[in-house]
């Protein structure tokens, strides 16, 4: 799966501009699904028919970005964030636009790091005047982190593992499930990072009986980190609660039972700040019992996110085991 994760994470796809990632996924899953469509917001909805309940699986395609808001006479670009980015991690960072234009992020003179904010930062794409910059980049264009996939053996570092690793888990499960027990809708969603938007409209369209998001979650296993009972390498998580959802007890039981039945390591997850697509799915129409399976991930929303490859492989196994459960 590492090749797949590499291809997905290195693709360009900030919120609202997911088409490159979508194309990669479409090509991979087309032979394996019964029906595939793209809705009006750009969600990719792939159905693998089965006799049981309608189950919506969601992994978001979008990543964080920086949108150009102004180009000055010397060709420097001002920007604002698309999704939750801290200005501190941008210092010295390289970014790339959809057309391949690359820039580095510079900072105005500041007295103290406390004064650092987006207004002090700019992107330098190597242009020396406005016209030269505008030939490459327009106002409203979005840049993403320029960082390659790095295989450390057991662990992986890359940009946008949030949530391309979730996309990879869905694709892999889709490949391995031949005749599903339930009626499966694999949804690769848009605009999660700006407010779980794609999941909301796709859930309305699908009318699922159950919802499950596959996303990343933070960990508490790094030096002096905030307390959190999730660590890398101890298995995918069964979410209990985050800011947007309280996992439906029935769904939590299905997930835990699936893990224990097949002997897959798992962790229970309570995320104090943050939410995923399930936050939108479970409130769709009359309500949808929903949950989340997370892949533990360090340094989320930075250019170098880290996951444990065993957690990814176990994530695929757990997802398959969940989906093999006869649901009522």
Partner 1 sequence: MLLKTLSESSGVSGGEQEIRNIIRQQVSPHVEEAETDVLGNLIVRKKGEKEGPTLMIVTHMDEVGMIVVGFEKSGLIKFSKVGGIDDRVLVSKVVQIGPQKIPGVIGAKAIHLQKPEERKKSIKIDDMYIDIGAGSREEAEKKVKLGDYISFITRFEEIGDHCAKGKALDNRVGCAVLIEILKKQNYPYSFYGVFTVQEEVGMRGAGAAAYRIKPDLALVVEGTTAADVVEVKKEGHVTTLGKGPALTIMDASVITHRGMVQFLKKLAEQNGIPYQIRRFTGAGTDAGRIALTREGVPSAVVSVPCRYIHNPAGILNLKDMENTVKLVDAFLKNLPEGGFNNEGTD
What does DSSP assign to residue 300? Answer: T
For partner 1, which stretch binds (CB under 8 A), given 73-81, 153-161, 270-278, 287-295? Answer: 73-81
Q: How far is the CB of 276 from partner 1 (least distance, A)?
A: 16
Asked whether position 41 contacts partner 1 by CB under 8 A, the answer is yes
- Say whether 192 is catalytic: yes
Listed ranges 27-35, 196-204, 211-219, 230-238: which one lies at the site for partner 1 (CB under 8 A): 196-204
- What is the distance between the alpha carbons of residues 60 and 15, in angstroms, rounded to a whole number? 9
Interface residue with partner 1, options 53, 94, 205, 253 (CB under 8 A): 205
Number of residues that bind partner 1 (CB under 8 A): 32
Do the Cβ atoms of 68 and 137 come closer than 8 Å?
A: yes
Q: Is residue 276 near partner 1 by the rule CB under 8 A?
A: no
Please, what is the angle between helix 161-176 and helix 19-29, to 10°?
20
DSSP strand E in the chain: where? Answer: 35-38, 44-48, 54-60, 65-71, 76-82, 94-97, 102-107, 121-124, 142-145, 150-151, 155-158, 183-189, 210-217, 237-241, 267-270, 290-296, 305-308
H/E stretch holding 142: strand 142-145
Among 282, 270, 305, smallest CA distance to 56 is for 282
Among 6, 28, 54, 200, binds partner 1 (CB under 8 A): 200
Does 227 help bind partner 1 (rule: CB under 8 A)? no
Which 96-115 residues touch partner 1, going by CB under 8 A?
98
Q: Applying CB under 8 A, does 139 fall inside the site for partner 1?
A: yes
List, by residue number, the catalytic residues.
192
Site for partner 1, rule CB under 8 A: 15-17, 19, 38-43, 67, 69-70, 72, 78, 80-82, 98, 119, 138-140, 191, 194, 197-198, 200-202, 204-205
């Amino acid at each position: 799966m590492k090749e797949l994760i590499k291809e997905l994470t290195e693709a360009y796809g900030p919120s609202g501009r997911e088409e490159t990632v979508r194309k990669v996924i479409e090509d991979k899953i087309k032979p394996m699904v019964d029906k595939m469509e793209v809705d009006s917001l750009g969600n990719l909805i792939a159905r693998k028919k089965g006799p049981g309940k309608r189950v919506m699986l969601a992994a978001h395609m979008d990543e964080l970005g920086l949108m150009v808001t102004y180009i000055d006479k010397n060709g420097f670009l001002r920007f604002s964030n698309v999704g939750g980015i801290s200005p501190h991690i941008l210092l010295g960072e390289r970014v790339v636009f959809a057309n391949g234009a690359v820039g580095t992020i510079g900072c105005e003179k500041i007295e103290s790091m406390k004064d650092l904010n987006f207004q002090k930062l700019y992107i330098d794409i190597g242009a020396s005047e406005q016209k030269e910059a505008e030939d490459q980049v327009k106002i409203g264009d979005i840049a993403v982190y320029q960082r390659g996939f790095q295989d450390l053996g057991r662990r992986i570092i890359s940009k946008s593992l949030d949530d391309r690793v979730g996309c990879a888990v869905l694709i892999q499960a889709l490949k391995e499930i031949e005749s599903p027990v339930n009626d499966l809708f694999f949804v690769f969603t848009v605009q999660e990072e700006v407010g779980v938007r794609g999941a909301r409209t796709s859930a309305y369209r699908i009318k699922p009986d159950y919802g499950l998001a596959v996303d990343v979650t933070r960990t508490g296993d790094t030096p002096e980190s905030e307390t959190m009972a999730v660590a890398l390498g101890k298995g995918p998580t069964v979410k209990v609660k985050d800011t947007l959802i309280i996992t439906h007890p029935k769904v939590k039981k299905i997930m835990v039972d699936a893990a224990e039945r097949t002997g897959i390591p798992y962790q229970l997850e309570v995320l104090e700040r943050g939410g995923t697509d399930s936050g939108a799915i479970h409130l769709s129409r009359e309500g949808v019992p929903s949950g989340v399976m997370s892949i533990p991930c360090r340094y989320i929303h930075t250019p170098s996110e880290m996951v444990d490859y065993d957690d990814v492989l176990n994530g695929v196994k757990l997802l398959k085991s969940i989906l093999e459960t006869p649901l009522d």
